[in-house]
Amino acid sequence: MQIIYSTLIKKASIKNTPKQLIVFAVLLLSLFLSSLSFANCKMPEELPTGDLGIIIERMDGSVLIINNSSLSVLCRIEGLGDLSHASAVFSRDARYAFVFGRDGGLTKIDLLKGKISKRVMQSGNSIGGAISQDGQYIAVSNYEPGGVNIFAINDLSLVAQIPAIYGESNMASKTVGLVDAPGNQFVFSLYDGNEIWQVQMDKKTKKPNSDITKYHNAGKAPYDGLISSNGRYYIAGLFGEDGLSLLDLWHPEKGITKILSHYGKGQKKLPVYKMPHLEGWAIAGDNAFLPAVGLHEVLVVDTNTWKEVSRIKVHSQPVFAMASPDDRQIWVNFAFPDNNTLQVIDSETFKIIKQFQPGKGILHMEFTPRSEHVWVSVRDNDEIIIYDTQTLKEIKRLPAKKPSGIFFTSRAHRIGL
């Protein structure tokens, strides 16, 4: 912007006619006003939060506040640090977004005012987080120094630190797959410790109960986790062995159950360009659609038995398999070098009904709450593409700086999101 200003001013200083000078003046004024309003994020006085969301601009440490009804960008907020693997959750009233940065930063954004309310550096390297069922606590999962930190939602004051210490040598573990669960609980996995921990927040003391439930021998190197939409099943993907680990939170006394023991990276020496994100599992009806590690397949799993019932051949190595809120479609994106492609699967027939190639670096997809649209981030094109899910046609493109995660405030009312 400064370069444009300087160029116009230099041109205006050259001998010109009054008419030309007026044109230059108008251009300067319009540029100044547009940059000023964008920088200050002047938001509408009356703005419902149910239509809002954010888009992560991973390279610039910024986020866009968007409106998914008007299909528009409202403003950009800068100064959020390293967002190369950022995720976000929302307060129960959908006013605040909490962004988890890779550099250990936790940032609270006021969506109505379009500004940062509070930012704390809570670790050296974090990998995501969750908000409690009662909306009072934010938990952050950390690589360095490991463990989980829990904060009060109002002022981001530290409520508790949970070191992920395991084994006889009291080693500290990276924590991954942190989710919220019914009963005001958090559940997460220890990557180095091969364990799953269950933490219940105490409403009286506003701290975790002292008797944190620890499930040992949860499989080698759990790298990610998810919780089913009804909050019953916590599933951890395993990097060190084939299969996945399942914890039934309705019957935790049963301990850890191994499922899909034939599946995974552990025993198969596959060239894996990017590990599938388990939070991208699609659960539609009685079936789960799972991106297969290292394979050009999506696995279909019966959630009543947790056994494989089918495999769907897809374009390349899938990363996310996302179900539309009406369970009708599964949208799949892929790892490098085939990350320029999207495929849409019919959840009833298991058939691929559409394939797109909108641009390189397709990183994330997010459906509007009632399934009419899906927003797709295309990092290398610096844009967001919005599709109509009924016609499967593109309806709009929005500029964004190296976009990745897209998060709508409807997540505020869903378990595990």
- Interval 271-285: pLDDT, tens: 665 666 666 678 888
Range with the poorest average pLDDT among 44-53, 70-79, 249-258: 44-53
Task: Give strand pairing partners of 329.
Answer: 346
C-beta of residue 348 within 8 angstroms of C-beta of residue 315: no
- Burial of 190-202, coded b for 16+ CB within 10 Å and e otherwise, reads bbbbbbbbbbbbe
Task: Specify the DSSP element, H or E, that contains 10.
Answer: helix 2-13
Q: Are 374 and 362 in contact (CB under 8 A)?
A: no
Q: What is the pTM of this model?
A: 0.87
Residue 156 has pLDDT above 90, yes or no: yes
Residues 384-403: tens digit of each pLDDT: 999 999 999 999 999 999 99
Q: What is the mean pLDDT of residues 358-369?
A: 95
- ∠ CA 360-364-369, rounded to 5°: 140
Q: What's the sign of the alpha-carbon dihedral 305, 275, 191, 144? A: negative
- Parse the chain into domains and list their residue ranges: 1-40
Q: What is the pLDDT of residue 267?
A: 61
